Amino acid sequence: MEAALSVARLPPHDPRTPPLSVVDMHTGGEPLRIVHAGCPEVAGPTLLAKRRYMRHHLDYVRRRLVFEPRGHRDMYGAVLVPSELPDAHLGVLFLHNEGYSSMCGHAVLALGRFAIDFGLVPAPSDGAQEAQVNIHCPCGLVTAFVACEGGRSRGPVRFHSVPAFVLAADLTVDVPGHGKVVLDIAYGGAFYAFVSAEKLGLDVCSAKTRDLVEAASTVTEAVKAQFKIKHPESEDLGFLYGTILTDGKDAYSEEATTNICVFADEQVDRSPTGSGVTARIALQYHKGLLQLDQTRTFQSSATGSVFTGRAVREGKCGDFKAVIVEVAGQAHYTGTASLTVEDDDPLRDGFLLK
């Protein structure tokens, strides 16, 4: 009889490099790879300082986590770290193909479930149907509400955002190949440019993904070259994360509105984009197209998956009028892995194809 293969046994690897133990999830099709063991200590007194430290000293972890051959150019990662905020249950650093994000809504929805199921936050024992998980993201404290049943997470998760606001409305930008294009820039934990795909000669629902990526990336580069992105409270947050192409259906409707987000280095979000939904709700509220507590449904043109969003209350960010936005969606587990490195592997830190 053949000996049973031990699934706990690791393949040969460099003993100086601990394996990265990960849990894989997806939210609306957008992947999330969560590191829960094996990452070296990320030094720094604050979460933003930890983000800078990881970028300068531990970027090989991001490459091993996200890049091929262990990942792919559209993989997304999360490294859990301690938070300096007394109300936070956990801190998180977000990783993508270009570097480090300030906010990721699809990841927050997944991390809400993960925090309950892996014991970072206890499930309700008093009969409550929902647990609160306070997640310190680089943009600030985000509160997730996790549906629970029988001591486990179950069903959808929702979160309340940091204050979301409009940085520039009806901004005219000269976009190569498209002339002068009117667009908006809004913040939902990260800054995005918003433009109807129709203005670029495309249908967001039927165009080829490659064409949408090229158009969105051209917009992103044009905005970066012509407009200064500045966050009112932190220089670390003052950058354009990407462009979201929409179907132009911004007025309130019970029907879904479709969009696709292209961020970082032409990375395509498979979900409706949690921080993008946050920013788009803020934009619609700013323009008087939406009232408090009016729920909208947002659909990804990549996968058809949906999030819902609504403005729950007004707020401030610096001198900007803002809203707190609730975003809801469903995350699922897809597996676990131990990512190892051999000392003679010339591609140990990964690579990307374009």
User: What are 246-249's contacts with CB under 8 Å, separation 24+?
Assistant: 246/194, 246/195, 246/196, 246/197, 246/204, 246/280, 247/196, 247/197, 247/198, 247/204, 247/205, 248/196, 248/197, 248/198
Residue 317 annotated to the active site: no
pTM of this structure: 0.96
240 pLDDT tier (thresholds 50, 70, 90): very high
Least confident of 7-21, 37-51, 221-235: 7-21
Q: What angle, rounded to 10 degrees, do the helices at 47-57 and 59-66 form?
A: 80
pLDDT in tens, 292-313: 999 999 999 999 999 999 999 9
Across 269-284, average pLDDT: 99
Full DSSP string of 110-148: HHHHHHHHTTSSPPPSSS-SEEEEEEEETTEEEEEEEEE
Which band of pLDDT confidence, cut at 50, 70 and 90, is reported for residue 4? low
Alpha-carbon span 85 to 107, nearest angstrom: 20
pLDDT band at 274 (very low <50, low <70, confident <90, very high): very high
Residue 5 in this model has a pLDDT that exceeds 70: no
Buried b / exposed e along 295-324 (16+ C-beta atoms within 10 A) = ebbbbbbbbebbbbbbbeeebebeebebbb
pLDDT at position 1 is 39
**pLDDT value of residue 248:** 98
109-125 average pLDDT score: 96
| Confidence band, pLDDT 50/70/90 cuts, at residue 249 | very high
Kind of pairing, strands 100-101 and 90-95? Answer: antiparallel
Considering the candidates 104, 139, 148, 317, report the single residue annotated as catalytic.
104
Between 129 and 281, name the one with better pLDDT.
281
Separation CA 71–CA 219 (nearest Å):
27
Determine the Cα–Cα distance for residues 84 and 248; give it in Å rounded to an integer: 41
pLDDT interval class at 218 (50, 70, 90): very high
For residues 230-249, give the mean pLDDT. Answer: 98
11: pLDDT confidence band, cut at 50, 70 and 90?
A: confident
